[in-house]
Structure 1
Amino acid sequence: MSAAAGKSADAAPFPWETVMHAGLCLLRLSPDVFWRLTPVEFFAMTGGMRPQPSGMGREGLEGLMGRFPDGG
């Protein structure tokens, strides 16, 4: 039955404690507002929709390699 519900046998439980802490303590939302949020609204409010950095380019990698060369 769990497969029909889209659940995997090794899926981690939903982190309710973390989500409630972020919404009620860090964002200081009232319980009424918190429980009326959609998942997308909560995701946006916690910074999930901000642009992500693209990562290190070749220049950055070469700089790190120069500062921290492999011993040989």
Structure 2
Amino acid sequence: MSGIDWKGLLRAGVRGAGLRPEEVWRLTPAELAVILGAGGGGPGMGRARLEELAAMYPDGGTDGRS
């Protein structure tokens, strides 16, 4: 038996987030947790990290994407 409480997730999605059952089933448990406010993510990306990534992956690179 799975360790995931599927009934509880469905109940939380429908009652807690106001989603339709088919919408709940399209989400991963992690996505549902974020919607319910239990994502536990850290702070957002700061300017320094954004600039670091932009330098590493500049627009119009050699991979054909722009």
| TM-score normalised per structure 2 | 0.46
| Larger RCO, structure (CA 8 Å, separation 6 or more) | 2
Rg larger in structure: 1
| TM-score normalised per structure 1 | 0.43
Structure 1 or 2: more helix by fraction: 2
